[in-house]
């Protein structure tokens, strides 16, 4: 039996974190929970501490950390409670930690994910924004520190499984022609265009196939999630923009495909359940049980595919354009999208204005090189400030342009 892995979970109270602990609980001899982290969900994190007995628990908000510490001491748990962003980096860098599940949503997950890579850990990447915003920085940290990076997004995990074992990041040498990222199309794939103007946050978060957090559910509804995955695929697999295609597949059974130069297409299939890619990454290079219902293709009967409608989903077009532009454009894209989704969920921005805000930010900001994390964080803050100005101007009737100044689509 392989040695027990000591696991730190960044974002253990989110959907990926909860599913990770579900898989871990099925294999008590394989894993030891070293650290769990959350923003402010004291009740759930305390329950997880009771069940999995981590050495460390981290909460971002001081009041939540104080309450968790009170409960931990009251239960007599041998668990050190830490607080703040620096504590996240400390937790993943511990010598007791072998593997880090990076599942904090948004750019907030960048610093601890980078810290895990710099500490040479096995990083299970569910935080796509880290590669989108800091692709050259994170991949260099992985390479220079002997870390490993395994994708948790179902699409990238599928591509990883469909590539040759030991793939070196050279698609030509491996005979890879292109990769195809599948997308469900979200809840509005077939909705009349005029209907999108009146979409509510609850409707946008009602994904037809997957159970996810609210931010990623909105990204799925706009297909920005797929756009971010296009950028992520570029950095994970060293494939160029023209080698990455998105294919709408409503059933979400084929999670992605790799096409080879001999005409072969290799796909990974399974029921839409995040525990499958989580279990694959946790057990890699072996396979372990995930608790997932097995696929019954005869019951499904048929699988369907179509090209994405870029007029209906302009966020996907914007993501391709940002990848093509390079530099700070993907960072600005992500920051503007986070601001847009936050305002949409708060009822301050309509669903169809999400891409308008993002496009305006990309148009207005200059491209800057990304060489280090300070470049990333600077570009992120600049884009957020630009987005906030646009929101104020939009409320006052100020118009916006298009993306032509950034790059020709």
Q: Which domains does the chain have, with CATH numbers?
A: 5-151 (3.40.50.720), 159-273+293-300 (no CATH), 326-397 (1.10.1740.10)
Inter-CA distances, 274 with 230, 271, 278, 293, 330, Å: 19, 9, 6, 12, 26
DSSP annotation of 250: T
The pLDDT score that the predictor gives to residue 284 is: 95
Q: Is the Cα torsion angle 73, 78, 82, 88 positive or negative in sign?
A: negative
Query: How confident is the prediction along the chain (409 residues), in pLDDT tens digits per residue?
Result: 567 999 999 999 999 999 999 999 999 999 999 999 999 999 999 999 999 999 999 999 999 999 999 999 999 999 999 999 999 999 999 999 999 999 998 888 999 999 999 999 999 999 989 999 999 999 999 999 999 999 999 999 999 999 999 899 999 999 999 999 999 988 888 888 888 888 999 888 887 766 677 888 899 999 999 999 999 999 999 999 999 999 999 999 999 999 999 999 999 999 999 999 999 999 999 999 999 999 999 999 999 999 999 988 999 999 999 999 999 999 999 999 999 999 999 999 999 999 999 999 999 999 999 999 999 999 999 999 999 999 998 765 544 443 333 333 3
Of the candidates 216, 220, 228, 11, the residue with the CA atom closest to the CA atom of residue 135: 228
For residue 201, report the phi and psi dihedrals to the nearest 5 degrees.
-55, -40
Neighbours of 299 (CB within 10 A): 6
314-325 and 329-345 helices, crossing angle to 10°: 150
**Residue 106 and residue 83: Cα distance in Å, rounded?**
19
| Cis peptide bond upstream of 271, omega within 30 | no
- Given a contact cutoff of 8 angstroms between Cβ atoms, the answer to whether 25 and 289 are in contact is no
Q: What residues form DSSP beta bridges with 6? A: 32
- Helix or strand (DSSP H, E) at 6: strand 5-10
Of the candidates 210, 221, 100, 92, the residue with the CA atom closest to the CA atom of residue 154: 210
The pLDDT score that the predictor gives to residue 402 is: 39
**Residue 103 and residue 126: Cα distance in Å, rounded?**
5
DSSP annotation of 311: T
**Residue 192 and residue 320: Cα distance in Å, rounded?**
25
Apex 112 CA angle, 106 and 117, nearest 5: 115
**Residue 274 and residue 19: Cα distance in Å, rounded?**
7
**Residue 352 and residue 199: Cα distance in Å, rounded?**
8
For residue 188, report the phi and psi dihedrals to the nearest 5 degrees.
-120, 20
Tokens 């992500």 belong to which residue? 334
Of the candidates 177, 173, 176, 124, the residue with the CA atom closest to the CA atom of residue 153: 124
Of the candidates 132, 141, 182, the residue with the CA atom closest to the CA atom of residue 162: 182
Q: How is 67-127 classified by DSSP, letter by letter?
A: HHHHHHHHHT---EEEESHHHHHHHHT-TT--EEEE---SGGGHHHHHHHHHTT-EEEE--
Distance from the Cα of residue 401 to its chain's centroid: 29
The pLDDT score that the predictor gives to residue 395 is: 66
Q: Is the Cα torsion angle 190, 195, 200, 201 positive or negative in sign?
A: positive
Instruction: Using only the alpha carbons of the chain, give its radius of gyration.
Output: 21
């Amino acid at each position: 039996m392989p040695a027990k892995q000591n696991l730190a979970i960044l974002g253990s109270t989110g959907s990926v974190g909860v599913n990770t602990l579900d898989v871990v609980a099925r294999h008590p001899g394989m894993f030891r929970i070293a650290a769990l982290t959350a923003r402010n969900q004291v009740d759930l994190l305390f329950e997880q501490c009771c069940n999995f007995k981590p050495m460390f628990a981290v909460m971002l908000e001081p009041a939540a950390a104080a309450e968790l510490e009170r409960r931990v001491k009251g239960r007599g748990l041998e668990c050190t409670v830490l607080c703040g962003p620096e504590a996240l980096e400390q937790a993943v860098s511990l010598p007791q930690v072998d593997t880090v599940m990076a599942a904090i949503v948004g750019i907030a997950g960048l610093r601890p994910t980078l810290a895990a890579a710099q500490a040479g850990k096995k990083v299970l990447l569910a935080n796509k924004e880290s590669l989108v915003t800091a692709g050259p920085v994170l991949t260099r940290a992985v390479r220079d520190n002997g870390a490993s990076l395994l994708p948790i997004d179902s699409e990238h995990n599928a591509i990883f499984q469909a590539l040759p074992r030991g793939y070196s990041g050279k698609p030509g040498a491996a005979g890879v022609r292109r990769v195809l990222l599948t997308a469900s199309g979200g809840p509005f794939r077939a909705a009349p265009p005029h209907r999108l103007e009146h979409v509510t946050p609850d409707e946008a978060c009602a994904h037809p196939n997957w159970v996810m957090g609210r931010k990623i559910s909105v990204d799925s509804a706009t297909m920005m999630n797929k756009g971010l995955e296009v950028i992520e695929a570029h950095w994970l697999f060293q494939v160029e923009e023209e080698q990455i295609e998105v294919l709408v597949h409503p059933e979400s059974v084929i999670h992605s495909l790799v096409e080879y130069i001999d005409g072969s297409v290799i796909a990974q299939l399974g029921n839409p359940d995040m525990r499958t890619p989580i279990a694959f990454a946790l057990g890699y290079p072996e396979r372990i049980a995930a608790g997932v219902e097995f696929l019954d293709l005869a019951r499904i009967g048929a699988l369907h595919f179509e090209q994405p409608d870029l007029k209906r989903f302009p966020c996907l077009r914007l993501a391709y354009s940002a990848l093509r532009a390079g530099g700070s454009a993907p960072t600005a894209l992500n920051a503007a999208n986070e601001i847009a989704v936050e305002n949409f969920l708060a009822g301050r921005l309509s669903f169809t204005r999400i891409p308008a805000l993002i496009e305006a930010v990309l148009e207005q900001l200059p491209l800057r090189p990304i060489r280090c994390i300070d470049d990333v964080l600077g570009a992120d803050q600049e884009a957020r400030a630009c987005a906030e100005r646009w929101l104020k101007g939009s409320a006052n009737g100020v118009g916006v342009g298009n993306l032509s100044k950034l790059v020709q689509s």
